[in-house]
Amino acid sequence: MKPKVIVYKKVDLSVLHLLREHCELTYYEKLDAETYPTFVKQLHHAHGLMGSGLKVDKALLEQAPHLKVVSNISVGYDNLDLPELSARGIMATNTPNVLNDTVADTIMGIMLAAARRITELDRYVKDGKWKSQIGEKEFGVDVHHKTLGIIGMGGIGASIAQRAYFGFGMNILYHNRSRKPEYEQKYSARYCSMDELLQQSDFVCLMTPLTPETVKLIGEREFKLMKKSAIFINGSRGATVDEDALVHALKNKEILAAGLDVYLQEPVPEDHPLLSLENAVTVPHIGSATYETRMGMAMLAAENLISGLRGELPPNLLNKEFSK
């Protein structure tokens, strides 16, 4: 008998074909108030789960007595209660590396947009405000040859460093849990303490996972340490930043601007103070959102799922306990 699998995110047909070869599939393009009750009923029989964003915690797992593999279609896995999954003998997997280049492209785009005020000035043109030659009021600041500080020099951080160093001639500083000699060599990246990075960088880019240690990693104190001309970029998770402190820093010109892909609450509420600030570039969590990369992530997630359901160790297994 084929294992029963629930996919709860829209994925390409080729991914569904692959899954159907190996599993009995229930497919939801998305979970919402309407589909959730049926999803929970099916959870009682499921051996595998694949999707993204769903909080997989004790309460959910109580309703999934046969579950063997949870396959996240994302590299971040802060939605998973990993200790609880491990205690129940359930494998968890994610999708690292396939998205590095795409997310790094997004981050460079946000950096350029914030520094050169691209989104703000796009609105200026469309609102009919371009009446004469632009002047200093519309000037931005350079990106090239500035100092970029990367907090969280993992797969994505390194791809950002590569673009910034080779493409923009930037000077790279980084802070990470451990030193990365490979990137020091390739991108002349210099390891430093977080405080030094915050004080020296023209652009501060946050790329750590969301963990208990990184909740509100950047707050009032950190914004005060940054240069008044600094541009802050968050591509990690919203909860790694104290959003009230960020709004305060932007309003009071403690920093020049911010570029944000992630928020504490997503979708970000319409009346969020960040959305009324001209010096905040706000995009809707689009880091990995290209056809090619989302397809690659879903395919990798399907491979992880199938491998785990076969009783193998999936390529991107997260629980350390299973590898022992």
Ligand X SMILES: NC(=O)c1ccc[n+]([C@@H]2O[C@H](COP(=O)([O-])OP(=O)(O)OC[C@H]3O[C@@H](n4cnc5c(N)ncnc54)[C@H](O)[C@@H]3O)[C@@H](O)[C@H]2O)c1
Rounded to a whole number of angstroms, the minimum distance from the CB of residue 236 to ligand DGY is 9
C-alpha to C-alpha distances, 293 to 20, 73, 113, 126, nearest whole angstrom: 22, 11, 22, 31
CA distance 86 to 30: 26
Residue 52 interaction partner, one of ligand X, ligand DGY, none, beta carbon < 5-8 Å per kind: ligand DGY
Q: Which residue is nearest to ligand X (CB)?
A: 154
Does 256 participate in binding ligand X (rule CB under 6 A)?
Answer: no
Rounded to a whole number of angstroms, the minimum distance from the CB of residue 202 to ligand X is 20
CA distance 76 to 209: 6
**String of contacts with ligand X for each residue 212-231, x by CB under 6 A:** -xx-----------------
Q: Could you tell me which of 67, 16, 37, 69 has the C-alpha nearest to residue 307?
A: 69
Cis peptide before 267 (omega within 30 of 0): yes
Q: For residue 285, indicate whether it is catalytic.
A: yes
Indicate the helix (H) or strand (E) that contains 150.
Answer: strand 147-151
* Residues within window 35-94 making contact with ligand DGY, judged by CB under 6 A: 52, 74-76
Q: Could you tell me which of 171, 244, 165, 156 has the C-alpha nearest to residue 207?
A: 156
Rounded to a whole number of angstroms, the minimum distance from the CB of residue 222 to ligand X is 12
CA distance 166 to 146: 13
What are the φ/ψ torsions at residue 234 (nearest 5 degrees)?
-115, 115
Out of 237, 243, 254, 294, pick the active-site residue. Answer: 237
Does 314 participate in binding ligand X (rule CB under 6 A)?
Answer: no
Residue 62 interaction partner, one of ligand DGY, ligand X, none, beta carbon < 5-8 Å per kind: none
**String of contacts with ligand X for each residue 41-70, x by CB under 6 A:** ------------------------------
Give me the residues that bind ligand DGY (CB under 6 A), please.
Answer: 52, 74-76, 99, 287-288
* Enzyme catalytic residues: 237, 266, 285
